[in-house]
Amino acid sequence: MKNIGMKIIGTVLIILSSFNVARCEELSGVYALRSVAGTQLDYRKVFLSFDGDQVSGFFDNPFTQPASNDSDANPTCRFFLTGRLSSAGEVKLDTWYPSQPGKPDETGAPIVLKRGDDGKWTVGLSGSLPNCDVPTIETGDFLKLEASHTWRSINYVTVVKSVLYSAPTDSSKTRAYLVRFDPVGMLDTHSNWSKIDYFGKDGDLVRWVKSSDLSAPMKQ
């Protein structure tokens, strides 16, 4: 009976573990950020990766004024996020943006996300944000999953120029490249290579880069 009981417990743990992995994979992806009533900022996106209880992400708003304004005259608001998913379905995220080598990262106020029964995440924020002349996320905003992805983490380019490859071989070099601080979603690794998803303005671009060109997985 004891052996049977242990086998049952082991089976339950495996099922729960599989469920948690699947649940996190369902949470990873591109989120549209909607505002409280009276504010219209259509271009805001949040890229989030859930790996177990580890959460990493990137906030992207290329326009800090409503869409009807001249976007070229507006500064951007972009920063990275790192945090943990609690058993209560809440995520507390540190906000920061990397600086040039040898200098400390720029940090800001934490963001708290609370998930509702409808699958939306409500934002809580108190304080200023890094790398934002005009902050464009506030308490009461909410996130809604727009496109699911299988990102293992959100990373960024650490070198001045990171060449893109169509396959994990030196002979697969392309003319395209990313630059320092460009954010990417980590899809897979192979030897000294990383398969990444670049969040370009024209859509996702999946390519390979040298793993040494990227930041370490952002964990808390």
Specify the domain boundaries for CATH 2.30.30.40 within the chain. 153-213
Q: How far is CA 5 from the centre of its chain?
A: 41
Compute the distance between CA of residue 143 and CA of residue 114 in angstroms, rounded to an integer: 10
CATH topology (fold) of 25-148: Lipocalin (2.40.128)
User: Which helix (H) or strand (E) covers residue 6, if one does?
Assistant: helix 2-27
Specify the domain boundaries for CATH 2.40.128.120 within the chain. 25-148
Neighbours of 172 (CB within 10 A): 13
Cα dist from 13 to 3, 4, 19, whole Å: 15, 14, 10
Strand 173-179: give its sheet, edge to edge.
153-156, 183-190, 193-200, 203-210, 161-165, 173-179
Instruction: Provide block-wise average pLDDT over 10 residues at a time, the chain (220 residues).
Output: 48 39 65 70 85 94 60 71 92 94 91 90 93 84 91 95 97 96 95 93 88 81
Query: 13 phi and psi, to 5 degrees?
Result: -65, -40
Segment 34-41 long-range contacts (CB within 8 Å, at least 24 positions apart): 34/141, 34/142, 34/143, 34/144, 35/138, 35/141, 36/138, 36/140, 36/141, 39/138, 40/66, 40/67, 41/65, 41/66, 41/67, 41/136
Sign of CA dihedral 181, 184, 189, 191: negative
pLDDT value at residue 15: 35
Neighbours of 68 (CB within 10 A): 8
Q: Identify the bridge partners of residue 60 per DSSP, sorted by sequence position.
A: 45, 78
**pTM, two decimal places:** 0.82
pLDDT value at residue 79: 95
153-213 is a CATH 2.30.30.40 domain: yes
pLDDT value at residue 119: 83
